[in-house]
Amino acid sequence: MSTLNGGADHVLGTTHKKEESPTFPYIQETARKNPFNVPESYVRTEEQMEKHLYTPHLSSHLPIIDFGLLSNGNKEELLKLDFACKEWGYFQIVNHGMQIDLMQRVKDAVAEFSELSIKEKIKYAMPPDDMQGYGHTSVDWSDYLVLLVYPTRFRKPQFWPKELKDTIDAYSNEIKRIGEEVINSLSLLLGLEEHGLLDLHREVHQGFRVNYYPPCNTPEKVLGVSPHSDPRTIAIVMQDDDVSGTEIRYKRNWVPITPIPGALVVNVGDVIEILSNGKYKSVEHRAITNKNKKRTTFISYLFPQGDAEIGALDHMIDDQNPKMYKDTTYGEYLRHVLNTKLEGKPHINATKINEWIGE
């Protein structure tokens, strides 16, 4: 049974693999002082940016789910969730019960951390052999801070800036409540007992990732995060109220997610796509950059224990819906993802039967 680094230390966040950069972390520091100095390595061709697919008008169609109704088992809200996961793989949740004040405290604490000198921040730098800590992506225009929050026994305190500890703790506790409730609703929609999906996780793991995007003078050529799908169960994202940047692949378009103040953005990850035998979509998404405004996103990922088995649920398979994915363990799947390129979502395609022969 394959678990990565004992089952809990595996990568959090996107499928970014940490690559060594001789200039880390000074490129980003230079960029903040002088956003007109974009290094060549960040520049993408027009084709890579797929600018012609950009259709901002579609953004208002993203479903909005009332969490209060959903957790009371409201049928209409459940059907909305079903539609959102089938059609978009994305939705926003309102009425989630988290205090706006707490959300603001997380934003303020992270902003304070961002303002620290590089000398202070690199105390938390992600070592080359680790997947937690502070760093910056080697091909995209962003800094990140990545932490494993739950189970608490796997935390690595050396990567937790002291300014952030209490707020991340309180925030993550709320996200756990909201996230597990969303997973319970998905469980019902997938024909399981309410706790069926959580049980399949064995022990739910939760990571916290901050992405910080400095202003960029050539946003049409530089991405904040390259297209990918999340190799997780779900991701829950808090974003800035006044600047958008996340875009999702919808049919042949890149659709921006317009922030709704106080709402949380949720997306279906690969684990749900696999368990649902493709009924629910782990949609490709990316982050674009902004010429004038910096942007920060706060992403919480929920995912299974490394030895949890993931494969299409038996009752999701029939003559019309043949089995699409190979049975595996979460740890094995993640290892496969980490060995695969970030661009697009080849890792989930590779789990399709006949395409992934295993390792």
Name the residues that contact ligand AKG, by CB under 6 A. 13-14, 209, 211, 225, 230, 245-246, 285, 287, 297, 299
Cα 88 off chain centre by: 15
Q: Which is nearer to ligand AKG, 15 or 184 (CB)?
A: 15
Q: Rounded to the nearest whole angstrom, what is the least distance from the CB of residue 235 to ligand AKG in the complex? A: 6
Q: Rounded to the nearest whole angstrom, what is the least distance from the CB of residue 313 to ligand AKG in the complex? A: 25
Q: Rounded to the nearest whole angstrom, what is the least distance from the CB of residue 235 to Fe ion in the complex? A: 6
Q: Rounded to the nearest whole angstrom, what is the least distance from the CB of residue 158 to Fe ion in the complex? A: 25
Cα 195 off chain centre by: 23
Q: Which is nearer to ligand AKG, 146 or 316 (CB)?
A: 146
Binding site partner of 174, from Fe ion, ligand AKG, none, Cβ cut-off 5-8 A by kind: none
Q: Which is nearer to ligand AKG, 49 or 225 (CB)?
A: 225
**Residue 312 in contact with residue 276, Cβ under 8 Å?**
yes
Binding site partner of 306, from ligand AKG, Fe ion, none, Cβ cut-off 5-8 A by kind: none
Size of the site for Fe ion (CB under 5 A): 2
Task: Give the end-to-end CA distance of the chain in Å, rounded to a whole number.
Answer: 13
Say which residues have a Cβ less than 8 Å from residue 291's Cβ, sequence separation at least 6.
215, 216, 217, 219
Place of tokens 């953005």: 265
Structure tokens at 88: 């978009």
- CA dist., res. 121 & res. 111, Å (int): 12
Q: Rounded to the nearest whole angstrom, what is the least distance from the CB of residue 246 to Fe ion in the complex? A: 8
Q: Binding Fe ion by CB under 5 A: which of 143, 180, 230, 273?
A: 230
Q: How far is CA 186 from CA 61, 77, 142, 170, 199, in A?
A: 21, 12, 32, 25, 13
DSSP run (H or E) holding 146: strand 143-150
Residues that bind Fe ion (CB under 5 A): 14, 230
